[in-house]
Amino acid sequence: MSQKVLVTGANGKTGRAVIAALAKKGASVRAFVRKVEQGDALKALGAAEIALGDMNAVETIAPALKGCDAIVHIGPPMHPDEKAMTEHFIKAAQAIQLPRFIYYSVMHPLRREVPHHARKLDTEEMLIESGQPYTIINPTRYMQHLEMIWKDVVANGVHGMPFNTHVKFNIVDLLDLAEVTAKVTAEDGHLWASYELAGPEGLSQDDMAAIISEVLKKPVTARQVPLDEMEAKARAGGATDQRIDTMRKMNTHYDHGGFRGNANILRWVLGREPTRFKEYVTRLAKRDGLLA
Ligand SMILES: NC(=O)c1ccc[n+]([C@@H]2O[C@H](COP(=O)([O-])OP(=O)(O)OC[C@H]3O[C@@H](n4cnc5c(N)ncnc54)[C@H](OP(=O)(O)O)[C@@H]3O)[C@@H](O)[C@H]2O)c1
């Protein structure tokens, strides 16, 4: 019988990738969403069923978990209620003695200067102290951040992000992360573990621009986007004051510390070499018909 897994944050970037990876492994996925109209697209990705709910509405959580063998809990990014929302799911999981709780965190939650890292650290502590069997996923920054600026990169040859162009990141492919998340959910041997998942190369914006330039065969240069410019764009997109404050603190922190990590655990769980940035950019360029 296939394992039944509740996936929260199901309609987000991470949730969709995790649903597809779990379905590929034969799991029966129940997608936790706020809007019924999101259901068809998630079913097309491989979800077997939909649970309507809200992470802040505690009464929607136990029914969503009923009959499940595991949960992959993916909280909304930079959310002030991350800990309270996760607590609802931990309590509901404990009430049914759920065998596996996979919590999607971030690498280096102990970097408390960044508010959402601090909240994830507090949440990890709560989960570990609860006694609930868990696996914690700790990813670095996704390669997929490129997709937010991809049009500008392709049209104008400018790779702009809100930190200096020299500081390095071990960015990681979301598809590798989704595969790892599906493996630790569906396979035995990963309980009581926290996995730091980083990409195999330390790359600055300058390095990324050079790799994109090589793939697209056109000049691409890196640009440090001023924080005020980032803020204006985020406000225009409807970001709250809280989110903007978090984004400013995160990018200021990146500006001096970058986001370095080691790919050993990612490589071990995948059982293959993790995706390199050049492979990811090539995939993106082929997707958009920019390469044969
Ligand atoms: N991006 C990175 O580089 C990175 C790196 C490490 C870790 N992470 C972590 O990855 C996680 C997921 O990020 P993401 O970029 O995939 O997020 P995302 O695309 O913004 O998706 C978030 C999802 O959460 C749902 N949601 C928000 N509030 C909810 C509520 N109250 N009840 C139920 N659902 C709710 C949203 O639903 P709607 O569709 O209805 O809005 C959306 O589908 C975050 O915890 C983030 O910290 C990200």
For the chain, give every domain's residue range: 4-141+173-199+261-275
The pLDDT, as a whole number, for residue 292 is: 87
Which protein residue's CA is at the shortest distance from atom 33 of ligand 1?
54
The pLDDT, as a whole number, for residue 1 is: 55
Regarding the beta carbon of 198 and ligand 1, being less than 6 Å apart is answered no
Which protein residue's CA is at the shortest distance from atom 44 of ligand 1?
77
> Which atom number of ligand 1 is nearest to the Cα of residue 139?
6
Regarding the beta carbon of 111 and ligand 1, being less than 6 Å apart is answered no
Distance 95 CA to ligand 1 centre (A): 25
Regarding the beta carbon of 163 and ligand 1, being less than 6 Å apart is answered no
| pLDDT < 70 positions in the chain | 1
Domain 4-141+173-199+261-275 in CATH: superfamily?
A: NAD(P)-binding Rossmann-like Domain (3.40.50.720)
> Which atom number of ligand 1 is nearest to the Cα of residue 82?
45
Q: Is the pTM of this model over 0.95?
A: yes
Distance 128 CA to ligand 1 centre (A): 22
Mind spelling out the 3-state secondary structure of the chain? Answer: CCCEEEECCCCCHHHHHHHHHHHHCCCEEEEEECCHHHHHHHHHHCCCEEEECCCCCHHHHHHHHCCCCEEEECCCCCCCCHHHHHHHHHHHHHHCCCCEEEEECCCCCCCCCCHHHHHHHHHHHHHHHHCCCEEEEEECCEHHHHHHHHHHHHHHCEEEECCCCCCCECCECHHHHHHHHHHHHHCCCCCCEEEEECCCCCECHHHHHHHHHHHHCCCCEEEECCHHHHHHHHHHCCCCHHHHHHHHHHHHHHHHHCECCCCHHHHHHHCCCCCCHHHHHHHHHHHCCCCC
The pLDDT, as a whole number, for residue 182 is: 98
